[in-house]
Amino acid sequence: MRITLTSVFVDDQEKALRFYTEMLGFIKKNDVPLGEDRWLTVVSPQDPGGTELLLEPSGHPAVKPFKEALVADGIPYNSFAVDDVAAEYERLRSLGVRFTLEPTAMGPVTTAVLDDTCGNLIQIAHQAG
């Protein structure tokens, strides 16, 4: 068994696509119209056949209070691995990405938390090996 798809609820799919591709560097894999919404996925350019991230519309009534509670508590919705948290933090800040947590060492893991502009906090992390 393996994970092939995970999702993040987004307030606006087009805005999310721009953020996740232009800022974070993912590439669009699927874009299938589904009425008002789309089956819209992105993947890592380092693993284009790997796990897809679905930019899922947050229209369900349970999503808004769920996302708001996570953000209010500073809890990231997803975590993405990077090779160097400090370097990625600087790169993303130079692009205007807002962080709620600067690079922070937590034992063998260094993390930082960013705002994806679509209602979520996202963690970037690197584990020293």
Q: Could you read off the pLDDT of 91-111 as tens digits, one per residue?
A: 999 999 999 999 999 999 999
What residues have CB less than 8 Å from 33, skipping those under 6 apart?
Answer: none
Could you give all domains of the chain from N- to C-terminal order, each with its CATH number? Answer: 5-127 (3.10.180.10)
For residues 89 and 99, the answer to whether their CB atoms sit within 8 Å is yes
User: Confidence band (pLDDT; 50, 70, 90) for 71?
Assistant: very high
What confidence score (pLDDT) does residue 70 get? 97
Q: Could you read off the pLDDT of 2-51 as tens digits, one per residue?
A: 999 999 999 999 999 999 999 999 999 999 999 999 999 999 999 999 99
Q: Does pLDDT of 129 surpass 90?
A: no
Identify the residue whose tokens are 């691995």: 81
